[in-house]
Structure 1
Amino acid sequence: MPLRLPDRLPAIDILKNENIFVMDNSRATTQDIRPLKIVILNLMPLKITTETDLVRLLSNTPLQMEINFMKLKSHTPKNTPIEHMMMFYRDFESMRNEKFDGMIITGAPVETMDFEDVTYWDEITDIFAWAKTHVTSTLYICWAAQAGLYYHYGVPKYPLEKKMFGIFPQTPVDTKLPIFRGFDDVFMMPHSRHTEIHREDILANPELTLLAESPESGVSMVMARGGREFYITGHLEYAPNTLDNEYKRDRGIRDDVDMPKNYYRDDNPDNAPVVTWRAHANLLYNNWINYYVYQETPYNIDEIK
């Protein structure tokens, strides 16, 4: 599909080399098409990597999308050049009066902190509240999923003795839901987190629907408001080498991080990872965009409420 991306975004050249059709805004403005407006609040440290991972998945539908990047005014990233942030990202305040068909809020490296101790908690909860009336469907990932469930529904998070780290099989609870259209009975999902949410807390809240879970990695997907909110505790967007990079970064430094499970060929970190999640990752993002964004959003985007 054609993706409308900001001119000179690094992901454009990367994805073109992968034979993914993207176009910059200069070309897209010549086409008389109402694209889906997607905004990504990218809280991950390596922002260019996360941009590329997410855009790669969004590229797998026949719909045209315009991708926008949002940043927090109350937080300055340390691992991304300020020039990149100034060129491709906008503060939430400058976007507050806009509406979007879909939104993705990523994880963040703050999960061991109490939510209220996060320096940008006030600003991000303002965004959570705004999304309810300005976005047709919002996808919360990893820490954002825990933070969104806590803010909207009072669901707590719990610390883990060891990092939940690896690729774990997930079972859909109701395969008839459109989000699982085309799914197998079991699908794999990368996880990389030090905290978890409990299924009992999800089941106790009638506003929440448990979508998928694993005997080992626990709750992996939750839905609210009929699909206007999705909470994913893992990282289906991860590239093949992401867990490998994290493991090599932490090995010998942290004592709460073991080798990622179900990841390396023959469980040998000297071997390459075995990619087992990519097909379902593409399918899930495709289903989200089609059934919960495109099919639900009004043609006049100002009518979102």
Structure 2
Amino acid sequence: MPINIPHNLPAKEILEKENIFVMDELRAYSQDIRPLNIVILNIMPEKEKTETRLLRLLGNSPLQVNITLLRPTTHESKTTKKSHLDQFYRTFDEIRDKKFDGMIITGAPVEQLSFTEVNYWDELKEIMDWTTTNVTSTLHICWGAQAGLFHHYGVKKYPLKKKCSGIFQHRRLYKNITLLRGFDDIFNVPVSRYTTVKQEEIEEIPNLTILSTSDEAGVCLVASNDGKRIFLTGHLEYDEYTLKEEYDRDTSKGISIHMPNNYFPNNDPTKQPIHSWRSHANLLFVNWLNYYVYQETPYIWE
């Protein structure tokens, strides 16, 4: 089944060219189906690219999914046109009285700031508290995962000596966890961050389970025991060119940064990166939608 998005959202044309089944709201309203309602808090700078990456994965499911895009009101985006935000995005005040089956909180390039220095931190805390009663399951990504771990469980983030960037092998730690159903024992995950969380601190929290780790990149996936909160410290939603775009952006600004690990063939940035994580990205999102959202959410919210 398709994802239901506004008929003129720029991502729609891109996804249709990739043969991703999308449906605009006019057609969706004619179907007598209880769709899943997913809200995406998009705090990435280039919002249109992030929309496309996430919708590509959410659309690869037999479930019909309605998408609501959410932005913080306490932060003014410098890289997304105001007209795009006004047309396609809602504010928290507009949705706070609604119930959602699932939520995604994206990453943001603010890892080097303390949480309290982020200008939308108070608003984000309010949203994360709201998910406890108004969302069946929330998927936190990268900085969003660090923010969620800190806010809900007090898990701190720590600066790295250098940016952790590249494609890293991760281990599946459990074979009977539905979120990782179909996963290989070893799988690749793109990582792009300046900070990390400590495995031993998470292990001390009874309500959290670490599902996968990497010798090089550390903790990857963490889940609360009730499945209401999923934390992904990497970027499985990235496409094959995202790390290249970040690397080119930083080098063009004169930032001293090393080449992403295990990314360019023969470490040659002129060669096309190999997309080696696509299948596991699709598996993660489909498993989350099925086992943690669809199977758990009530047919009618009360």
TM norm structure 1: 0.97
Query: Which residue type is aligned with residue 87 of structure 2?
Result: M
Identity %: 53
Query: Which residue type is aligned with residue 168 of structure 1?
Result: F
Query: Is 2:158 the partner of 1:144?
Result: no
Could you list the per-position Cα deviations for residues 115-170 of structure 1 after superposition, in whole angstroms to 9, with x for gaps in the alignment? 01111110000000000110000000000100110000000000011100000001
Question: Pairwise mapping of residues 1-12 of structure 1 onto structure 2 (< 5 A)?
Answer: 1-12=1-12
1:160 corresponds in structure 2 to: 160
* Separation in 2, partners of 1:2, 1:280: 20
- How far has the Cα of 1:212 moved from its partner? 0.6
Query: Is 2:61 the partner of 1:61?
Result: yes
Query: Which residue type is aligned with residue 96 of structure 1?
Result: R
TM norm structure 2: 0.98
* Separation in 2, partners of 1:254, 1:81: 26
1:189 corresponds in structure 2 to: 189
* Separation in 2, partners of 1:21, 1:34: 18
Q: Is the 8 A contact 2:170 2:187 kept in 1?
A: yes
Q: Is the 8 A contact 2:166 2:243 kept in 1?
A: yes
- How far has the Cα of 1:225 moved from its partner? 3.9
1:34 corresponds in structure 2 to: 34
- How far has the Cα of 1:61 moved from its partner? 0.8
Question: Pairwise mapping of residues 153-302 of structure 1 onto structure 2 (< 5 A)?
Answer: 153-251=153-251, 253-255=254-256, 257-300=257-300, 302=301
- How far has the Cα of 1:268 moved from its partner? 1.0
SS in 2 for 1:149: helix
Q: Is the 8 A contact 2:37 2:68 kept in 1?
A: yes
The runs of at least 4 aligned residues of structure 1 exceeding 2 Å deviation read none
Query: Which residue type is aligned with residue 192 of structure 1?
Result: S
Q: Is the 8 A contact 2:209 2:225 kept in 1?
A: no
Query: Which residue type is aligned with residue 129 of structure 1?
Result: D
Between the two proteins, the alignment pairs up a number of residues equal to 301
- How far has the Cα of 1:71 moved from its partner? 1.0
- How far has the Cα of 1:7 moved from its partner? 2.4
For structure 2, the residue ranges without an aligned partner over 5 or more in a row are none
Query: Which residue type is aligned with residue 16 of structure 1?
Result: E
* Separation in 1, partners of 2:126, 2:13: 34
- How far has the Cα of 1:204 moved from its partner? 1.0
- How far has the Cα of 1:251 moved from its partner? 1.9
* Separation in 1, partners of 2:83, 2:7: 14
* Separation in 2, partners of 1:268, 1:157: 32
Query: Which residue type is aligned with residue 25 of structure 1?
Result: E
